[in-house]
Amino acid sequence: MANGLVSHNNTEPTAQIFSIQEKSDWIIYNRYVQRDLELCKLLIDQELRHTKDNNDFAFYILGLIFREEGKIKNSYWCFHRYYALNPLCVEGIKQIARSCLLLGRNDEAKKMYLEAEKMCREPDTKIYFNLGLCYMNLGELDKSKEYFHRTIQLSRNQNAYEKLATIFAMESNFKNATSTLITASKLFPFSTNLSVDLGLLYMKQREYDQAFNVLGNTLCQDPVNPKALLTLAAEIQRNFGYDEALAKYTKAVGDLSECSETWNNIGMCFFGKHKYVAAISCLKRAVYLHPLNWIALYNLGLVHLYTRQYVSAFVFLSTSAKLNPNNASTFMLIGLVLNNMDDTRNAEKAYRKSIELNPNYPEALINLTILELNQGKVQEAKNSFCSFQEACLSGGAIDKEIFELGKQVSDILDGHNKCVKENDNRTTDQEENIVE
């Protein structure tokens, strides 16, 4: 109640906060705890008219009801009225602060919670936790960690452990993030959310054995845990186990049928199996569910490029580039599409944009080299190929097809150099004959 989250079984704090003496207040309270909210609102309306808006308890309960209904602004107004009638009660400030937090007014919520902290005679862990959220949302991570630490020192708060680990991960302090989640997992051994987060953290650190062990234990407790299934499926998919990944996605899709990312991954599994129609269908569903999902749009463009539907590929890739203009791969694919549509001028621009975003991008460099060779720009092609060779030597993983393509281009350039040398030698011989 103190943090504004009311459940069906959590009505005891209301009775503790208020000394309910009026018969009408008791009736309102009983209707509220029995979840007869429509009748409760009707009784509150009658009571406020009867008392000329002078019943703080009625405003408080009405604020809670509005919050449950998602009417946060109405809830905010009710708690303000309650606070005006009862300015010495810290609960009013806490509820106003909670409404501000839900409305995204983090700075205002922070000020209200700090005021509530001063009014409290004893430490309030819910105030500390919500202050941690405010500072986290405002980007003041050190202060946020301080209040989350205070929270877990005074109570076993699972959410505080999760948020603290999140902050450590944001700071790339994976060691502290891991130790925080391990401690939390020992305190809450049946929490699958904690174990899944720990598994994801291990994967970020490339400790795959630990990750699969933790996620496997999670699925033993909860065989249809969607988050664990998706995590495992995504990792299996990266290792080309498309059938096994699809089996896990199928289990998870029941709970996540409206999740754009799930349908994107399913679509790319079908793409890996060369089932392009199914892939396009799943990816279009992903875009339908989340029109701003630039990754799904990128993948749609990729599949259409493979199926030689160049106009459709260009449309999807262009939209993806508008949503995320910093992805070099998108512009490289746009260059391929334009090249196949015989628009070499704009294809070259797209390749150069890709290289501008990622100077060591071998795919863009080799495609630009080939384009320049086809246009007869031999010297420019040599320069681009030198950049390609440097990118290959920079230590990144090179696709086998790109490596073979680089060999072919190298042979062509070597052949061109030999022809040039032979022509130079012939010219020299002719000049010597003339001199004689």
* Residues 309-338 pLDDT 10s: 999 999 999 999 999 999 999 999 999 999
Residue 426: the pLDDT is 44
Q: Are 166 and 194 in contact (CB under 8 A)?
A: no
Residue 206: the pLDDT is 85
Q: Is residue 388 part of a domain?
A: yes
Share of the chain above pLDDT 90, in %: 44
Instruction: Give the CATH number for residue 55.
Output: 1.25.40.10
Which of 289, 237, 290, 224 is CA-nearest to residue 266?
A: 237
Q: Is residue 99 part of a domain?
A: yes
In 250-300, DSSP assigns E strands to: none
Provide CB contacts within 8 A for 349, sequence distance 6+. Answer: 335
Confidence tier at 430 by pLDDT (50, 70, 90): very low
Q: Is residue 142 part of a domain?
A: no
For residues 347 and 356, what is the distance between their CA atoms, to the nearest angstrom? 14
Which of 1, 18, 2, 19 is CA-nearest to residue 10?
A: 1
Angle at 106 between CA 103 and CA 107, to 5 degrees: 130
DSSP string, 77-107: HHHHHHHHH-TT-HHHHHHHHHHHHHTT-HH
Residue 419: the pLDDT is 54
Average pLDDT, the chain: 85
Q: Are 260 and 296 in contact (CB under 8 A)?
A: yes
Residue 396: the pLDDT is 66
Q: Is residue 171 part of a domain?
A: no
Report whether pLDDT(383) > 50: yes
For residues 236 and 248, what is the distance between their CA atoms, to the nearest angstrom? 10
Provide CB contacts within 8 A for 169, sequence distance 6+. Answer: 177, 201, 204
Helix, strand counts (H, E) of the chain:
24, 0
Neighbours of 273 (CB within 10 A): 14
Report whether pLDDT(89) > 50: yes
Q: Considering its fold, how many domains does the chain have in total? A: 2
Q: Which of 65, 88, 103 marks a domain boundary?
A: 103
Q: Is residue 91 part of a domain?
A: yes
Show contacts of 48-56: CB within 8 Å, 24+ apart: 50/24, 53/81, 54/85, 55/22, 55/24, 55/25, 55/85, 56/81, 56/82, 56/85, 56/86
Q: Is residue 146 part of a domain?
A: no
Q: Which of 52, 75, 103 marks a domain boundary?
A: 103
Q: Which of 103, 129, 147 marks a domain boundary?
A: 103
Confidence tier at 251 by pLDDT (50, 70, 90): confident
Q: Is residue 92 part of a domain?
A: yes
pTM: 0.70
* Residue ranges making up the domain that contains 49: 1-103
Q: Is residue 239 part of a domain?
A: no
- Find the range with the poorest average confidence among 79-93, 224-238, 404-418, 420-434: 420-434
First-to-final CA distance of the chain: 107
Please state the separation of Cα 322 from the chain's center in Å: 18
For residues 216 and 214, what is the distance between their CA atoms, to the nearest angstrom? 5
For residues 302 and 306, what is the distance between their CA atoms, to the nearest angstrom? 6
